[in-house]
Amino acid sequence: MSEGGQVGIVLVSHSAEVAASVAALAKALAGGGAAVPVAVAGGTEDGGFGTSAGLVAGAAAAVDRGAGVAVLADLGSAVLTVRALLAEGDELPPGTRLVDAPFVEGAVAAVVTAAAGADLAAVEAAAGEAYTYRKV
């Protein structure tokens, strides 16, 4: 999958603030300066809580460098919208995947891994592994 470019990361949340903050946190924890393409699709186009298919498609296109795009989504319509777009086949860049991962921890793992130059499968695996970090 990897052809030189970096894996793109898209964060889809019901809330624009949540998506933007998680993106900022993940980039900071990845070393700040690392040039991982990260884009957000937060809330609806009119600024409300929800999911916009247009914002998701736009974000995925914006971070596509030819090495695949890992999409992380928070809940409900965010997950279903991404799955519906993927099911249609032509609305997201080739090599786009919905990553099964917790939103915050998965985003951090995905961005850190992508910053290290990993391919899409490794980014997906790292994000999914975040489910196994127990806190108590």
Partner 1 sequence: MLDADFFRRWMTAAAASVDRAADRLTELDSPIGDADHGSNLRRGFTAVRAALEEESPDTPGAVLTLAGRRLVSTVGGASGPLYGMLLRRTGKALGDAAEVSEEQFAGALRVGVDAVRALGGAAPGDKTMIDALAPAVDALGDSFAAARSAALAGAEATTPLRARKGRASYLGERSVGHQDPGAASAALLVAALAEVAGE
The contact set with partner 1 (CB under 8 A) reads 44, 48-54, 75-77, 80-81, 83-85, 87-88
Radius of gyration of the chain from its Cα atoms, rounded to whole angstroms: 13
The minimum distance between CB 77 and partner 1, in angstroms, equals 4
Taking the least distance from each CB to partner 1, the nearer of 85 and 120 is 85
The minimum distance between CB 132 and partner 1, in angstroms, equals 22
Taking the least distance from each CB to partner 1, the nearer of 2 and 44 is 44
For 95, the token pair is 């090599």
Residues whose CB is less than 8 angstroms from the CB of residue 28 and which lie 6 or more positions away in sequence, other chains included: none
Taking the least distance from each CB to partner 1, the nearer of 54 and 94 is 54
Residue 106 CB coordination number (10 Å): 27
Q: Give dist(CA 71, CA 94) in Å, integer.
A: 13
The minimum distance between CB 103 and partner 1, in angstroms, equals 16
